[in-house]
Structure 1
């Protein structure tokens, strides 16, 4: 028997075991959970049942002490304290698409998880002690209704990844993030500003997503020296301070698209930053200085469309792309061949959109009327 056939046979056997319930089980009622010490995956799904939303009793989980993955879908509107204490081997706990609005104290006490997911609920409030007694590497609270986070409620968790996307957060407390946090997603909230001290105790952050907020400036955080990816797209940024990126000397991807930026200062970018991907499309830029382009000598991809470029400045950008063999979007790549009018080619890409941007740009003309490429 060939190795490939043997692997296929093993996979088929494993899948059959899961389907028949030897290692996993799908139930539609808490009371229908059967005692099974061998069970490793349990799905409690209320989608296809007539069960009313109710609290979940810890007594039911004593029957399945060895489950490693627990999924509870579309059935809960509350959680009792210490309900999961008997599940010592649990690694992944997903309570998604339920009607939870409040997480009380010590619900997860005693658990040592790889991931806790509470996404797609209706959570509006977390108790100050909501995560007391929990050890977890990743927490997903996305797609809820959180407006604030209690002081220090997440700081002691030593999280590696935290997802708070698509909530209604208006502010972040100074002591929210722990020192080991590497990935933070705060996208699509209502943040208008961030205090620089928010990241004062964070030293391991690699990826920070702040897109889709109402931020008007970029935080210069001196502790984020390991940051690789920074996303400020879809905000309301118009001016970038000269020291905005001073600390980010390992930054590889920077997203500034869909803002109101009318000028980029080369002094904002540390010369040793190895930025490889840079998006500045859909702003109010008319040009980029030679100093800035020279500071981006590691660039491999540049997205620059949807700006009211002056033809003279655009030609410099295109020459920079040509000579350094930098990647860009398909439509923008049509601008690169020499011997064509940049205006005609650009209109083909963005047409009326660019004209509208140019009209909006009039509010900034006093700031840049003497600006040279």
Structure 2
């Protein structure tokens, strides 16, 4: 049953109801009588309903309740006397200032607890000591700066404490089966010590980490996903010890060079928004499984021809907003997407891309292109999306041929506007009638000249040569 914009919990609800959703309402107070006639209720959602207070025994009669969500309301404390069969409790988006030991007493079946977007500045982990089966704990965006107390949570797998004010914590070692730890948007200056070996994913973006040492990651033998985006890293030479990494995000740091060694199992590498001016064949050596590589916004000037010779499975390459003047040679023929937006590329020839038979997306926006070889399109049989806007196009008749090829192939295109010649400046060249008329007139004129020439050739062949004839009208070289 779903209810919207009500002023109180509706009465006369069937006793057999299993799920009740009330949202966007104005229910200030909840009490025992509101749910006393719903013994079969298993899921109760009270979302954005203006709830300020809940009496202690309000949910006492709900012996079968497994999921309770009281999100985006005005609660200042955790409801008391919660049903003992509860497995999921969501209290995000309230004004809860503290968590106490008695808040979760008896909830031995609780698996998921969400208390994000509240006002919990300090926290003792001892409040979770009665939750032996807790698997997911979310404490994001509380302004939390101090954590105390040690509680062993043997089944905790997912812990998120993003967007707080934490700067040094060592209690993670007490979660022996933790798989995902999210600490983005805090004040850490180093990778937290003594992290559990069981970690599969570690998110530390938007902190103040300056360096990455081998000892920070050595014990994380199962780590597959590491995100250090938006820190202050100037070096990352300790990465090679995380031998099972498949996804690594080092974007938005201060890195001016690649690490001497990268984990060889990487499939996704994000090095965007750094200061990498040069890519060499040694930077990505051995990364045979790499599928996605992001190098945009680096001020990159040089990209060596053999830089990607090791990347035999690369499908997505992003090099936007750099200083490249041409498409790098020797790109892997496995590419399905190539992003070169915002460089200084002034020419695209068939030889640049003819081997990219799998390419489906080509982005050349905001470069210096004035024309494009029509053979480029014939060389890319699987091309589906072509982005060419933001270039200073010279809309001559040769571009009209490209336009026809694009229409024939059915390629989705963002073509941009003509910069030259003046008579069609500002028009989009895929729909420019001015360019079409100009080229048609030129074509008609050329055909007329060709017809006239053929007539003159026929006349000359039927005449006898005469030395005194005026040959000015028979300048064949000019006519042809």
Q: Which residue of 1 aligns with 2:271?
A: 304
Larger relative contact order (CA 8 Å, sep ≥ 6): 1
Q: Is the 8 A contact 1:128 1:150 kept in 2?
A: no
1:79 paired with 2:54, answer yes
1:137 paired with 2:111, answer yes
Structure 1 residue 316, shift from structure 2 partner: 4.6
Please give the alpha-carbon distance, in whole angstroms, between the structure 2 residues aligned to 1:254 and 1:80. 44
Which of structure 1's runs of 4+ aligned residues deviate more than 6 A?
332-337, 348-351
Which structure's residues are more often helix, by fraction? Answer: 1
Q: Is the 8 A contact 2:20 2:41 kept in 1?
A: yes
Please give the alpha-carbon distance, in whole angstroms, between the structure 2 residues aligned to 1:43 and 1:117. 14
Which of 21, 44, 64 lines up with 1:70 in the alignment? 44
SS at match of 2:103: coil
Q: Which residue of 2 aligns with 1:164?
A: 139
Which of 321, 324, 342 lines up with 1:345 in the alignment? 324
User: What does the per-residue CA deviation read over 1:99-123, in whole Å, with 9 as the maximum and x for residues that have no partner?
Assistant: 012226x432x42223110111122
User: What does the per-residue CA deviation read over 1:15-58, in whole Å, with 9 as the maximum and x for residues that have no partner?
Assistant: xxxxxxxxx2427244532252210111233x355x5x22x112
Please give the alpha-carbon distance, in whole angstroms, between the structure 2 residues aligned to 1:317 and 1:233. 27
Please give the alpha-carbon distance, in whole angstroms, between the structure 2 residues aligned to 1:318 and 1:36. 67
Structure 1 residue 216, shift from structure 2 partner: 0.6
SS at match of 1:93: strand
Q: Which residue of 1 aligns with 2:227?
A: 255
The 3 A distance-change label for structure 1 pair 280 and 78 is same
Please give the alpha-carbon distance, in whole angstroms, between the structure 2 residues aligned to 1:318 and 1:349. 23
Please give the alpha-carbon distance, in whole angstroms, between the structure 1 residues aligned to 2:9 and 2:105. 28
1:212 paired with 2:185, answer yes
Q: Which residue of 2 aligns with 1:327?
A: 292
Q: Is the 8 A contact 1:177 1:199 kept in 2?
A: no
Question: Structure 2 unaligned runs (5+)?
Answer: 308-318, 326-339, 344-480
Structure 1 residue 278, shift from structure 2 partner: 0.2
SS at match of 1:116: strand
The 3 A distance-change label for structure 1 pair 44 and 177 is farther
The 3 A distance-change label for structure 1 pair 253 and 339 is closer
Structure 1 residue 165, shift from structure 2 partner: 1.2
User: What does the per-residue CA deviation read over 1:173-205, in whole Å, with 9 as the maximum and x for residues that have no partner?
Assistant: 2425612100001111111211x2x12321110
SS at match of 1:199: helix
Q: Which residue of 2 aligns with 1:265?
A: 237
Q: Tell which structure's C-alpha radius of gyration is larger.
A: 2
Which of 244, 247, 250 lines up with 1:277 in the alignment? 247
Q: Which residue of 2 aligns with 1:4?
A: none
SS at match of 1:149: strand
The 3 A distance-change label for structure 1 pair 279 and 80 is same
Which of 142, 153, 166 lines up with 1:191 in the alignment? 166
User: What does the per-residue CA deviation read over 1:267-324, in whole Å, with 9 as the maximum and x for residues that have no partner?
Assistant: x5435x310000111111111233x22xx0100010001112252xx32565438765
User: What does the per-residue CA deviation read over 1:120-168, in whole Å, with 9 as the maximum and x for residues that have no partner?
Assistant: 1122222332111223100111111211123511132121001111211
Q: Aligned ranges for residues 146-185 of structure 1 at < 5 Å?
A: 146-158=120-132, 159-176=134-151, 178-185=153-160
Please give the alpha-carbon distance, in whole angstroms, between the structure 1 residues aligned to 2:143 and 2:151. 16
Question: How many pairs does the alignment contain?
Answer: 311
Structure 1 residue 83, shift from structure 2 partner: 2.2
RMSD (Å) for aligned C-alpha atoms: 3.0
Task: Output the TM-score relative to the length of structure 2.
Answer: 0.59
Q: Is the 8 A contact 1:118 1:140 kept in 2?
A: yes
Please give the alpha-carbon distance, in whole angstroms, between the structure 2 residues aligned to 1:227 and 1:254. 10
The 3 A distance-change label for structure 1 pair 123 and 138 is same
Q: Is the 8 A contact 2:31 2:57 kept in 1?
A: no
